[in-house]
Amino acid sequence: MCGIVGYVGNRPALSIVLDGLRRLEYRGYDSAGVAIVGDDALLTEKKAGKLANLEKALTEGPDTGIAAGTTGIGHTRWATHGGPTDRNAHPHVSQDGRVAVIHNGIIENFARLRAELEALGIEFRSDTDTEVAAHLLALELDVVRTEGGQGAQALAEALRRVSRRLEGAFTLLAVDTAIPGAVAGARRNSPLVVGRGVGENYLASDVSAFIEHTREAVELGQDQVVLITPEGIEITGFDGTPVEGRPFHIDWDASAAEKGGYDYFMLKEIAEQPQAVADTLLGRLTETGEIVLDEVRLTEQDLRDVDKIFIVACGTAYHSGLVAKYAIEHWTRIPCEVETASEFRYRDPVLDRSTLVIAISQSGETMDTLMALRHAKEQKARVLAICNTNGSTIPRESDAVLYTHGGPEVAVASTKAFLTQLVACYLIGLHLAQVRGIKYADEVGAVVGQLQEMPDKLRTVLESMEPVRKLARDLASAQQVLFIGRHVGYPVALEGALKLKELAYMHAEGFAAGELKHGPIALIDQGTPVVCIVPSPAGRGVLHDKIVSNIQEVRARGARTIVIAEEGDEAVVPYADELIRVPRTPTLLAPLVTTIPLQVLSCEIASSRGHDVDQPRNLAKSVTVE
């Protein structure tokens, strides 16, 4: 939700913190701010709007010398409590001006804590929940020091005491002017990772913040406090018990998070999809034809006992789950349901030890999905995670993990995350079928072979997108765009509509084509663009014929039909006002090729309408609050 970064070392902290914030701006961009610790002084600056506003304010401000300080924290905000204003931007500072705090998440009991602090005479200067943490920490520091606590350890102990009082989901970073050379962080249900350097250390909500400086990281667990100094990293539980963090190596470098000559990160990430799919497939099939997951804490008997599957996810990940349902049920013959994670636990689903819950999340920190996962675990269900972020909460709390290896995805609207999640879902479906004895190794190998052909097919699609860009510029003034599909084309239609809503702020809806006659066809007017995802006539001939009939129905009512069909499908030609060809692909795998034109279409329409493609309004990359 928000981007946070902390640094302590021997170099000026300001430039390092700002550089980290640039890499994290996709996580939150309503406002930004920094706090730098100098000689018994604190430099804070914060501004509403994009990071550029903060950088301008820092340039225009007085040169106090504090900017040369070697300890600092920084924040990019996506507003929850309090509007996106200068006063609500982070950091928040204690009343005595000593302590600065930044925060990701929501402190659910902030109102009660604020009333308690106001009764002590503390005046609040913002509308945020975060400010209570700054004032509480300053008070606790005073108590710890009267008890004999000194230096950086006092900061860590005070933060542990404050964390025990807070309810909700939060990551906190804190500095104290009396303790230069130390940053303390606390984590509960919200992302925080440590970067390990030489004579310097880092904290951030995402490894991309410090990847330019180190590729060695340490994973933090739930309800833990970390203290970083130039000399080391100390991790404890909220109760003070020492904890060993799990170290890991980041296998991509800083250039992977740069635009690489593209106008937008989204364009770069669309272009990276062939490689991302190839990387997700890499090493997944053993010489004996067995599918390999990344981390498995389930026995094969556990998987053989599964009699029901739930897929829980949000947004684009939910759409990948809808596609997965077709493949998993077809290959395993296990009933499979797909649910929006935000609704899952509230309807009291029937779960037991024979239920497998597949949780899909690009970041591994999506709060709705995490809460659904925890509900499933409480009901004794098995949980398998699909995730792109090593060391994040969802895979860590799951019984098995398949990482998508898509590399960093910076643009808020997911593209390569969707395709790599599809590949991961296919692999899991094949793995289940294999373990349960429904598919033999040669059958699994044949499907994996088809998957391994997909990167080349994706490159072919990408090379033919110029007509789609031209079409998008023509559609930029449209009032609405509708999407229709059948079978696996239906989730693709939903994803295409979501992309257009996210990026172009247009009315866009995706429908199962067979539902048109049950109401949605009333939306068709003269010239209404309707994007039609057509299944292969070879794989699903009956469905193909039916959607051709649906195309004729909307065209007869004045729609402008934009048809996505595979090479060689001539039956659609008479009914397509615009025809977009994709390579011939097995039916269940077709979403991998039919999705790309919709991504390009949405991106180009948004650009033509003058929108920020990478950072659409009101959205953040990771939704880490419910």
Question: Which are the catalytic amino acids?
Answer: 2, 621
CB 82 within 8 A of CB 68: no
| Residue appearing with tokens 């077809």 | 330
Q: Is 570 helix (H, G, I), strand (E, B) or coil?
A: coil
Tokens for 305?
């006992």
CA torsion angle for 160, 161, 166, 169 (degrees, to 10)? 0
* 396, containing H or E segment: helix 393-396
Q: Cα–Cα distance between 99 and 101 in angstroms, integer?
A: 7
Q: Cα–Cα distance between 606 and 596 in angstroms, integer?
A: 16
Closest CA to 236 of 251, 227, 221, 224: 224
- Say whether the peptide bond before residue 91 is cis (omega within 30 degrees of 0): yes
Closest CA to 106 of 82, 73, 129, 85: 129
**Strands of the 308-313 sheet, one edge to the other:** 295-296, 400-403, 382-387, 355-361, 308-313, 336-340
Tokens for 315?
């947004």
Closest CA to 48 of 31, 25, 29: 31
Tokens for 355?
């239920």
Angle, helices 130-146/110-119, rounded to nearest 10 degrees: 60
Cα–Cα separations (whole angstroms), residue 167 to 110, 144, 238: 8, 22, 13
Q: Is 258 helix (H, G, I), strand (E, B) or coil?
A: coil
CB 352 within 8 A of CB 457: no
* Residue count (the chain): 626
| Cα angle 17-21-25, degrees, rounded to a multiple of 5 | 175
CB 442 within 8 A of CB 456: no
Q: Cα–Cα distance between 435 and 455 in angstroms, integer?
A: 27
**Strands of the 92-93 sheet, one edge to the other:** 92-93, 99-107, 168-176, 183-188, 224-229, 232-237
| Cα angle 276-492-433, degrees, rounded to a multiple of 5 | 70
